[in-house]
Chains A and B, each alone.
Chain A
Amino acid sequence: MQSKMKESDPILEVENLSASTDNLPILKGVSLTVYPGEIHAIMGRNGCGKSTLSKIIAGHPSYNITNGEIKFFGENINSLEPEERSQSGIFLGFQYPIEIPGVSNLEFLRVSTNARRKFLNKEELDTFDFEELVKEKLEIVKMDHAFLSRSVNQGFSGGEKKRNEILQMALLEPKIAILDETDSGLDIDALRIVASGIKKISNAQTGIILITHYQRLLDEIKPNYVHVMSDGQIIKTGESDLALELEEKGYEWTDNFIKET
């Protein structure tokens, strides 16, 4: 697909990326390019390296890049701190959002939003202006104002945590969003809310990577490309119908690709 002519420069280029944790190789040469306006889905069994790929792009300190590079708007970001990546427009939606006791969600969102705004040379928002902004964004994920006064993710239900992730994405307006199993643990209504939120936030200038096991999210948000990962590699790339085929035939079907390669 990378051979196709594109009108603009890519947002994200992952080139032949290998990475390990505790000397255990997890990624074994992954390449992936995302252009503005594109939606990519990454599918694969548990433990195939999908989540690791997303964490490495976001800069998780537990993984070592052993080979290859990650480029964001053409710049190598291998050595950037996670906060620098976030500020410059990379967003990771967590599969299991972390609870931070005692830290108010509102203050967390404000500090986070201001860090991104500062990077963009936009004025930082005080509590009052931020309240206005966040009110508007709460609509997107249909969250109640009361969520803001609670501690970050603490005591949130699974669905509330995921919506809180999408709220953060809405506030940070990233250039690329990697959503790691944002659909898992959601009932149908919550899934629709989350999916419509993602659609509202994304536009022709942004890229999205959806990491998922299920077709149902892809029914709501149609990807341009579907990648299948296995044992730290992308073993097949296709268009959106690949996901349907995968749903029908199961991952065992993809095992054959490994044999072929």
Chain B
Amino acid sequence: MVNENLVQESVKEPYKYGFVTDIETEKIEKGLNEDIIKLISHKKEEPQFLLDFRLKAFKKWKKMKEPDWAALGYKKIDYQDIIYYSAPKQKEKISSLDEVDPKLLETFDKLGIPLTEQKKLTNVAVDAVFDSVSIATTFREELAEHGVIFCSISEAVKNHADLIEKYLGTVVPTSDNYFAALNSAVFSDGSFVYIPKGVTCPMDLSSYFRINSGDSGQFERTLIIAEESSSVSYLEGCTAPMFDTNTLHAAVVELIALDDASIKYSTVQNWYAGNEEGIGGIFNFVTKRGKCLGKRSKISWSQVETGSAITWKYPSCLLLGEESVGEFYSVALTNNLQQADTGTKMIHIGPKTKSTIVSKGISAGNSKNSYRGLVKMGTKATGSRNYSQCDSMLIGDQASANTFPYIKSQQPNSEIEHEATTCRISEDQLFYLQSRGIEFEEAVSMMVSGFCRDVFNQLPMEFAAEADKLLALKLEGSVG
């Protein structure tokens, strides 16, 4: 049909963040072995416990096999052909933003993340990560007044080693999966957040991840701890330049919520997706997991996944505390030859735990978009409940959408609900909007945002607007 083609045409949009910053970087040699890991640890002046952590992880990783159960197809990754540490050359010790290379500030400026005192975003504290290292964190003093720690994880290793030693790897063990083990062995930087007892974090915290080098992988590690009765909203954004090679991104995020604490973690992922023929693009293999350790604690994941050649990601919740709550709200848009296998795991362990899953997948072009989710009720999860809703929207007749729900219940006194739908943008809907003066492209993007509304409603205000804009951008383009 004529319109089907037009819809497909309209989802082509050039990637806006594909530029490369020309900056001198310090890179180590390609490849992975114990010496490389020791070198990374040495460069970062790490304590012995962390080096041991890395080496243990590496040992396990060597014995593991790359998972092949996801509905993804890609060329085998050569792990010896990757650079595991790359950092922009800077002065040894940076005491203020004035000493940061202006090229780096300019890069983040171009990405819409101004860091300098005059221009910085007024209501969000930002940790900016460039390749393997954190460049700057804004609003640190203001946050410190409330006892909130927000810094790069390297810095936390130096200044808050006790917290790192206590919590690192407690949610995602080093041997959890192939990519988590790899990350545990080589992670370079990422963000660390600590919210003390009873504190509501006075502003949103945000990390912005930027891959600049083409041949180095990015392995960031994020750890967020919310003490009793505290709460925080954390946002994460990602972009990368256009390269014709695939870059590996294997991150680990761990969240810990104690009694009555709540963590809201939102992601807008817009890594470079490769070109229309599927050349280049980021391989995004991410392990994100939250532990609701405390009673009545709550962890809420929301994600808008639009980039990457491959997305393999299942932000999960371990619901241990009585009456704890886990949530997962996801929009995944794939186009051209992008592949996404994403979803969540809700593991109900404690009694009266609750989880909600809302997933919206949009597939266009020749892309493949799968939802994969596990809901498990353990023997002690009496009176627990789950509600899942998985909707897919297909654009064109070449894209595919799959839903793989896994449901395991060992607890008769619990409830699990699963709903799934698949829809297509119909010609009649488009004609209706067009016959009211609304341009074709805008009509498509209106319907797509309408489809995603339940998820966008969960995002923090500024982020929701950004996500909506991002989808519109991805859907806008060369009609006619």
Interface residues, chain A, with chain B CB atoms under 8 Å away: 58-62, 81-83, 85-87, 92, 94, 97-98, 100-103, 107-108, 111-112, 115-116, 119, 151, 168, 172
How far is it, in angstroms, between the C-alpha of A168 and the C-alpha of B435 when the chains are bound? 11
Asked whether A92 lies within 8 Å of B437 as measured between CB atoms, the reply is: no
How far is it, in angstroms, between the C-alpha of A87 and the C-alpha of B435 when the chains are bound? 9
Asked if B442 is at the interface (CB within 8 A of a chain A CB), the reply is: yes
Asked whether B437 lies within 8 Å of A83 as measured between CB atoms, the reply is: yes
14 inter-chain pairs at a CB distance below 8 angstroms, sorted by A residue, are A58-B435, A81-B440, A92-B435, A94-B432, A97-B432, A98-B431, A100-B450, A101-B451, A102-B450, A102-B453, A108-B438, A111-B438, A112-B438, A119-B437
Asked whether A112 lies within 8 Å of B437 as measured between CB atoms, the reply is: yes
Smallest Cβ-Cβ distance to A107: which chain B residue: B446
Smallest Cβ-Cβ distance to A118: which chain B residue: B437
Asked whether B429 lies within 8 Å of A100 as measured between CB atoms, the reply is: yes
Q: Which of A83, A116, A151 contacts B439 (CB 8 A)?
A: A83
Cβ distance A70 to chain B, nearest Cβ, rounded Å: 15
B436 contacts which chain A residues (CB < 8 A)? 83, 86, 108, 112, 115, 168, 172
How far is it, in angstroms, between the C-alpha of A151 and the C-alpha of B447 when the chains are bound? 11
Smallest Cβ-Cβ distance to A60: which chain B residue: B431
Known pairs A83-B439, A98-B431, A112-B436. 5 more at Cβ < 8 A? A82-B431, A98-B428, A102-B451, A102-B453, A172-B437
B3 contacts which chain A residues (CB < 8 A)? 61
B452 contacts which chain A residues (CB < 8 A)? 102
Q: Which of A94, A103, A115, A151 contacts B437 (CB 8 A)?
A: A115
How far is it, in angstroms, between the C-alpha of A14 and the C-alpha of B289 when the chains are bound? 64
For the complex, count residues of B whose C-beta is within 8 A of A. Answer: 25
Asked whether B429 lies within 8 Å of A98 as measured between CB atoms, the reply is: yes
B451 contacts which chain A residues (CB < 8 A)? 101-102
B438 contacts which chain A residues (CB < 8 A)? 83, 108, 111-112, 115
A92 contacts which chain B residues (CB < 8 A)? 435
Asked whether B450 lies within 8 Å of A101 as measured between CB atoms, the reply is: yes
Asked whether A151 lies within 8 Å of B434 as measured between CB atoms, the reply is: no
How far is it, in angstroms, between the C-alpha of A168 and the C-alpha of B451 when the chains are bound? 23
B440 contacts which chain A residues (CB < 8 A)? 81, 83
Asked whether A82 lies within 8 Å of B2 as measured between CB atoms, the reply is: no
Asked whether A59 lies within 8 Å of B446 as measured between CB atoms, the reply is: no
Asked if B427 is at the interface (CB within 8 A of a chain A CB), the reply is: yes
Smallest Cβ-Cβ distance to B3: which chain A residue: A61
Asked if B433 is at the interface (CB within 8 A of a chain A CB), the reply is: yes
Q: Which of B431, B437, B447, B454 contacts A61 (CB 8 A)?
A: B431
Asked if B449 is at the interface (CB within 8 A of a chain A CB), the reply is: yes
Cβ distance A142 to chain B, nearest Cβ, rounded Å: 21
Q: Which of B2, B432, B442, B453 contacts A98 (CB 8 A)?
A: B432
Asked whether B447 lies within 8 Å of A100 as measured between CB atoms, the reply is: yes
A81 contacts which chain B residues (CB < 8 A)? 434, 440
Cβ distance B429 to chain A, nearest Cβ, rounded Å: 5
Smallest Cβ-Cβ distance to B456: which chain A residue: A102
Instruction: Write the B2-15 contact mask toward A (1 if CB under 8 angstroms, else 0).
Output: 11000000000000
Cβ distance B450 to chain A, nearest Cβ, rounded Å: 3
Smallest Cβ-Cβ distance to A94: which chain B residue: B432
B432 contacts which chain A residues (CB < 8 A)? 94, 97-98, 100
Asked whether A111 lies within 8 Å of B435 as measured between CB atoms, the reply is: no
How far is it, in angstroms, between the C-alpha of A82 and the C-alpha of B438 when the chains are bound? 9
Instruction: Write the B416-433 contact mask toward A (1 if CB under 8 angstroms, else 0).
Output: 000000000011110111
Asked whether B437 lies within 8 Å of A108 as measured between CB atoms, the reply is: no
Asked whether B450 lies within 8 Å of A103 as measured between CB atoms, the reply is: yes
Cβ distance A54 to chain B, nearest Cβ, rounded Å: 10
Asked whether A103 lies within 8 Å of B2 as measured between CB atoms, the reply is: no
How far is it, in angstroms, between the C-alpha of A108 and the C-alpha of B436 when the chains are bound? 9
